[in-house]
Structure formats: C-alpha cells, structure tokens
Chains A and B, each alone.
Chain A
C-alpha cells in the first residue's frame, strides 16, 4: 500500500494555497488524478518522487518510509525507485533511443531492454535521435525508459496531453499492456475522461490542493447526480418507417436512428435537444 499524508504550500496563478493530501492506494492499482490546472496534481507527483519536498507529513511505500518530516527522513529521488513520465518526454537529445534506454538501465537492468523494446514496439527506431521521432513514438520510448529500471511506482504527468487522438489511443494501449504485464502501481495526472475510464481503477479529483472527490470509476462517473449516464442528442429528423415511430439523432458526431413510442414521438420536435438513456437490452429511450 502507498500511504500519503502531505502538506505543502504552493503558488498558483490565483495566489498561494495549501496542498493537503491524506490518501492511500493499493499496490498494483491504477489511480488517476484529475482536477483544474493549478490544483497541485503535478506537485503531488513531484513530492512522491522526491523532486519536491513536502512542508510536513509522510510518504510510505509498502511500509518503507520515503519521507517523514517528524523523523527527519527524506530518501533521495534516486533511491525511491519510481518511474516518472514527463509531459515533454525529457528524452536526452545527445543520445540515440537505444543509448537513452541503456543509460537509464545501467548495467544491472541491461538485459531487460530487449523485452521492453518488443513490448513498446520501438525496435524500428533504436538508432535514431529522439528529436526525429513523432510525439507518439517519443512517448513510447519515454515509457520504455521509465520502465527499464523496474520501478516500484510509475508516475505519469499528463503523458498523453500533447498527442493527437490516434497516438493517444495507441499509447493508452501500450500503457495498459505494460501495467498488466509488469503488475505496476500507477499514478497518472490527466484531464481526459475517456483516458481515465479506459485505464484506471480509482479516480481522485483535486481542487485547490484538497481532495474534492474520489472513488472507483463507477462511483466517480456513473453514479453521480450530474446525469452522466445520459447521452445528449439532437433530433435531426422525425419519421415513420415500417409503421414504427423513429427519430434520427445526432450524438457527438454520430448519427443514430432509434425507435420510440407514440407518446415520445409526439412530444419531441425536430432540432430539439434531448437526453437519451440506454437500457440493459441496449435499447435507446428518450428522456426528454
């Protein structure tokens, strides 16, 4: 179990605020941290990795004390054995991809490089300079480099924010693959809801340095009172086909056709905004 009890004064564009975190998460879990910019998400990762020192509190990994203000314990970053995936990838441009991996691995983990190269699918550009790779390729290399030391804890700071939708999905696949294969404990900062739902078990929302909301994906997204279990749609066309009342709806950029009851058909107009719900039989029902 990872146990965090941290206090630290931080400065955002809106002014100073206190980051106060009291949190535990299981080993082997994938936890996402979300929340508005300047709420302390990245600082939290930096404190866990030892790149930033909390003003007070303690950080424990599986009973091992990494930081304890009271007992004056502050294990250095290099001894904490965390993997950190930076937003800007932070690949060293003076080294090729392979040299980046070898530098990170050191002598003791060198035999692990071949396996990671295969898992991350990066064998095609091992001899290239990282600057010549696309964003998605760079992030895969950065992920391989973060994993090559077999970290106890993998910290991801908005790892996919700079990527387009295609590469985002691709890296999500590689992340999930690595998470399962190496039984990692992952903490990821992200703003992207689909990413959270696809990858994580638990979500924590930070606001102004405090935990505003936390729970499993189901608790966080589906059981909320904010109607997240409905889909917003626009009625494009009302029509009767094969004696069935039908609505052609626009949901996002997708067009679907749903069969509705006589009453529902009478109650909506074309171009109206409606909310629809999907039942267990995958049948759509307009709500209003």
Chain B
C-alpha cells in the first residue's frame, strides 16, 4: 500500500489547521468584539464556503492562481510561486475552504466569555492584548479545540477544492480522497476500500481521543 497520499493528507491538514488558527484568532476576536460596520459583511463572506459547492471555490482559485491571472502572474513573476497544481496552492485553497470551520467556533467561544471578565481586566489596569492572552484565550480552550478539530477533519475530507486546484500529482497534490477517487475510477475497488477504511479508522480515532481528553478535562 502506498502511504504517500495519507502522509500528504495529514501534512496538509496539520499545516492548514496551524496557519488557519494563527489567522483566525485575530479575525475571530475582531468579529466577536469589534464595532466596525464591516463585521456583518465579513462574516457573510467568510461563511460562503459553507454553502458554495467546493468545485466553485476550486474553480475560481484555479483561475486566480493561474499564470494568466493578475495575482497568479504576479506571484509567479515576483515571488516565483506556482500555486496552481502545487502543495502550496492546496494549503491556501484548504485554508479558504475551512475558514468558517475555524472562525465560527472561535467567535462563538469569545462571545461566551462574560463581559465582566474583560471589564475586570481593564479595571485591573491590563491592556487589551494582555486581557486577550491571559483571560480570553485560556477561557476559550473548548472553542479552540472544537475549531481545530473541525478544521483538521474538514481538510482531511476535502475533495472538490483539492481536485480543482491540485489535480492528481503523486507526492505533491494526490491526497487520500483523490487517491480513493482515482482507484474507484480505475475500478480498483479493493485498494479504494483499504484506503477508505484506513482513513475512516484514523479520523475516528483522532476525533474520539480528542473528545475523550476534552471530556476528562471538563470532569
């Protein structure tokens, strides 16, 4: 059995979850507590991957990453980045596709922190950054964990977006879901079944252990 699609899948899920976490935390903070009138429209835009078919997102990303587009051309000529049909392109595509799965639980978690906690921090002479780091973030562990699990699991289960922008290049963009599809296409049901069962078992084990740890911590 060729393990490379699985290694690639989990590598993609780990990088996507990590990068998405770093970007989403400040975005979620702004959405939860900001006063800008642009918050509603931003929330609507960020939620689009929830309702749009993945192929639509994949298609537009493919156009954007291509050398013919303004962005793709600039990335290629100035930074030497080829995002279409590359692992980097997959990471960016996955991040966009999984954005709501990371941001929404965080926004909800931040909004659940009692206002008196933040106000107490201010009265105690702490800066907003200090309050965020010492009060909001540690009291949002549940939301952080949920957001990370959802993004990780969602990235593992991706198909439409990765197929559109990544194609099926072994060791580069051929993630497990693409490999399974490829085996089914070539009527190799036995391999498709082994890949599927392995993916099913691993993802179930990850989710189970995370929820188990979480339940134990909450008593």
Contacts and interface: CB of A to CB of B under 8 A. Distances in A.
Classify the interface of chain A: helix, strand, loop or mixed: loop
A209 B41 CA distance: 37
A226 to B, nearest CB: 36
Contact of B122 (A77, A92, A94): A77
Interface stretch (A80-88, A112-120, A168-176): A80-88
A159 to B, nearest CB: 13
Given A51-B122, A77-B122, A103-B134, A90 B127 contact: no
Contacts of A190: none
B124 A149 contact: yes
A90 B134 contact: no
B139 A93 contact: yes
Q: Which of A84, A87, A145 has the most CB of B within 10 A?
A: A84
Q: Which of B122, B123, B127 neighbours the largest number of chain A CB atoms within 10 Å of its CB?
A: B123
A92 B135 contact: yes
B120 A84 contact: yes
A78 interface: yes
A84 B117 CA distance: 12
Interface in B112-138: 114, 116-117, 119-120, 122-127, 134-135, 138
Contact of A81 (B116, B125, B127, B134): B125
Contact of B139 (A51, A82, A94, A149): A94
A133 B118 CA distance: 21
Given A51-B119, A92-B117, A93-B139, A149 B134 contact: no
Contacts of B114: 88, 90
Most B C-beta atoms less than 10 A away, residue of A83, A90, A103: A90
> Which of A76, A78, A104, A106 has the largest number of chain B CB atoms within 10 A?
A78
B104 to A, nearest CB: 23
Contacts of A185: none
Nearest to B116: A90
Nearest to A109: B125
Contacts of B126: 78
B150 to A, nearest CB: 23
A49 interface: yes
A103 B135 CA distance: 10
Interface of B: 114, 116-117, 119-120, 122-127, 134-135, 138-139
Given A76-B122, A78-B122, A83-B123, 15 more contacts: A49-B123, A51-B119, A51-B123, A78-B123, A78-B125, A79-B125, A82-B123, A84-B119, A86-B116, A92-B117, A92-B120, A94-B138, A145-B124, A146-B123, A149-B124
Interface of A: 49-51, 76-79, 81-84, 86-88, 90, 92-94, 103-104, 106, 145-146, 149
9 contacts: A79-B125, A82-B123, A84-B120, A88-B116, A90-B117, A92-B120, A92-B134, A94-B135, A106-B125
